[in-house]
Amino acid sequence: QVHLVESGGGLVQAGGSLRLSCAASGLTISNYAMGWFRQAPGKEREFVSTINWTGRTTYYGDSAKGRFTISRDNAKNTVYLQMNSLKPEDTAVYYCAADRGPYGSSRIDDYDYWGQGTQVTISS
């Protein structure tokens, strides 16, 4: 059974940083592109970032560019999202997802497995 477990969320002040982790079990992430999405209350789920199989190619949503960095450690079967210069509008539940395709995608429907999410709250 596949599990993606996010951790590292919490409450921080604007301008601060958080590092989210996504630990996978039941699948080998080196065979998957991985992505991060987020969903704020009353809003649709939004693409944040994706990373390809090897980790050499990354893409970011407009809200994440220049502030967030996605990375992966295939040996640890874990994906990370380093978030810096956080803003109150970054407040959301952050989800990790796995895509069987090699390249990664910004489309929710391209992902095969999802975690339960971790809450990130940024105070002003």
Count Cα neighbours of 123 within 13 Å in the Cβ-side half-sphere.
4
- Tracing tokens 């987020």 back to the chain, one arrives at 38
Q: Answer whether 33's CB lies under 8 Å from 103's CB.
A: yes
**Would the pLDDT of 102 be above 90?**
no
The SS3 call for residue 15 is coil
**Would the pLDDT of 109 be above 90?**
yes
What pLDDT does 74 receive? 94
Q: Which amino acid makes up residue 120?
A: V
Q: What is the pLDDT of residues 49-91, one digit of tens each?
A: 999 999 999 999 999 999 999 999 999 999 999 999 999 999 9
What pLDDT does 101 receive? 87
**Would the pLDDT of 99 be above 90?**
yes
- Please give the order of strands across the beta sheet that includes 78-83: 3-7, 18-25, 78-83, 68-73
**Would the pLDDT of 100 be above 90?**
yes
Mean pLDDT value of segment 12-23? 98
DSSP state of 89: G
What whole-number percentage of the chain has pLDDT above 90? Answer: 98
CA dihedral in degrees (40, 41, 42, 45; nearest 10)?
Answer: 30
